[in-house]
């Protein structure tokens, strides 16, 4: 079967977990892992038989085979990478908070972004909460949506910690622009409990049409949509209606590809990114090459 060649820039935790996810895909080919220094991540990729480089983005730009590039570096680096990737005709999937391209939450707005060349994956909390916020807004019209994401301390990397405002500000913006709430607010909590807790996300919506039936149906349906690409996504507390306030709590257990299962926050953003790449590979790129009949759903490999 034809596969689309992809590269990952940034062989850290996110990049390494992405690598495992790409390797399980039946329509993506994990072609190149590139960083700027020799690192554990580069060694790991090489050991898996994957081509590696320490030339950073330069290793990607003049390669005609590579069509999709995951950028798992940092916001500053991606601001520099984005125009170069665009010029080279590569589809960029941006794991950083740079937000050069539009926010994408696959089950909500991927289909409407068919011409984009640069996709921003929002935040882990955004991937976990925007689908619910969107579903509730569709069913009941939210004037205000607020989310609380709690992640285990161990799964919060130095990047998240040094820029925690970016999480709250970006997630809040996505609640408005992607989920459609009139106003959004986001809170993040780190919990150091041992053994580490699974990621939990609470989505509060203040709604104009509090119809419990419609809200329930919409939430159940969107949870199933997310589960297509994040098997560990679970409705923990179904919609609770209290006047015009709707409370929904979801839990995310990671797939345990490279990162431990409690890192559901990292898993969900990576799983969403790979899902975006697969959809694009199937719908946009394979159409050009014309191999026909596989779907992104079929492209999703089995998860352990």
Partner 1 sequence: MKRKIKLVDVTLRDGSHAVGHSFTREQVARIAGALDRSGVEIIEVTHGDGLGGSSVNYGFSAVNDMELIEAAAGVIRKAKLGALLLPGIGTIRDLEEAYERGVRVLRVATHVTEADVAIQHIQAAKGKGMFAVGFLMMIHMAQPEKILEQARIFVDAGADYINLADSAGYLTPDGVRERVAVLTEHLSIPVGFHAHNNMGLAVANSIAAIEEGADYIDGSLRGLGAGAGNTQIEVLQAVIRRYGWESGADLDRLLEAAEKEVAPVMKRPQVIDADSLMLGYSGVYSSFLLHAKRASQQFGVAAKDILLELGKRKMVGGQEDMIVDVAYELSKGR
Q: Does 114 bind partner 1 (CB under 8 A)?
A: no
Interaction residues for partner 1, span 151-210 (CB under 8 A) = 153, 156, 158, 161-165, 167-169, 185, 187-193, 197, 200, 202, 204, 206
The strand ranges marked E within 86-181 are 91-94, 118-120, 142-152
Position 249 contacts partner 1 (CB under 8 A): yes
In whole angstroms, what is the distance from residue 24 CA to residue 3 CA?
Answer: 12
Q: Which is nearer to partner 1, 114 or 237 (CB)?
A: 237
Nearer to partner 1, 248 or 280 (CB): 248
Binding mask 275-304 for partner 1 (x = CB under 8 A): ------------------------------
Q: Counting contacts by CB under 8 A, is residue 143 touching partner 1?
A: no
Say how far apart CA 22 and CA 148 lie, in whole Å. Answer: 30
150 tagged catalytic: no
Burial of 293 (0-12, 13-18, 19+ CB in 10 A): exposed
Nearer to partner 1 by C-beta: 204 or 262?
204
247 sits in which H/E element: strand 245-252
Distance CA 236, CA 95 (A): 27
**Cα–Cα distance between 262 and 213 in angstroms, integer?**
32
Q: Min. distance of Cβ 194 from partner 1 in angstroms?
A: 8
Task: Tell me, rounded to whole angstroms, the distance of Cα 246 from its chain centroid.
Answer: 25
Question: 3-state DSSP call for residue 105?
Answer: coil
Active site residues: 124
Binding footprint of partner 1 on the chain (CB under 8 A): 144, 146, 148, 150, 153, 156, 158, 161-165, 167-169, 185, 187-193, 197, 200, 202, 204, 206, 236-237, 240, 242, 245, 247, 249
């Amino acid at each position: 079967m034809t596969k689309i060649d992809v590269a990952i820039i940034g062989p850290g935790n996110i990049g390494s977990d992405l690598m495992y996810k790409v390797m399980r895909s039946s329509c993506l080919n994990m072609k190149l892992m590139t960083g700027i220094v020799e690192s554990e991540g580069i060694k790991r990729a090489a050991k898996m038989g994957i081509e590696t480089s320490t030339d950073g983005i330069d290793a990607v730009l003049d390669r005609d085979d590579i069509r999709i590039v995951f950028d798992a570096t940092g916001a500053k680096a991606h601001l520099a990478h984005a125009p170069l990737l665009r010029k080279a005709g590569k589809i960029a999937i941006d794991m950083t908070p740079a937000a050069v391209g539009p926010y994408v939450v696959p089950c909500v707005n991927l289909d409407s972004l068919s011409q984009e060349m640069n996709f921003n994956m929002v935040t882990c909390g955004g991937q976990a909460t925007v689908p619910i916020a969107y579903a509730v807004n569709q069913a009941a019209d939210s004037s205000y949506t607020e989310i609380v994401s709690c992640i285990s301390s161990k799964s919060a990397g130095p990047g998240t910690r040094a820029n925690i405002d970016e999480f709250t500000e970006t997630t809040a913006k996505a609640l408005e622009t992607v989920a459609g709430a009139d106003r959004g607010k986001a809170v993040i909590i780190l919990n150091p409990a041992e053994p580490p807790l699974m990621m939990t996300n609470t989505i509060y919506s203040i709604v104009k049409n509090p119809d419990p039936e419609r809200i329930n149906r919409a939430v159940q349906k969107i949870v199933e949509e997310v589960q297509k690409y994040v098997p560990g996504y679970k409705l923990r507390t179904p919609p609770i209606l209290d006047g015009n306030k709707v409370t929904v709590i979801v839990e995310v257990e990671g797939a345990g590809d490279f990162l431990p299962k409690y890192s559901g926050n990292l898993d969900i953003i990576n799983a969403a990114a790979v899902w975006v790449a697969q959809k694009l590979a199937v719908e946009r790129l394979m159409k050009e090459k014309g191999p026909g009949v596989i779907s992104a759903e079929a492209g999703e490999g089995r998860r352990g």
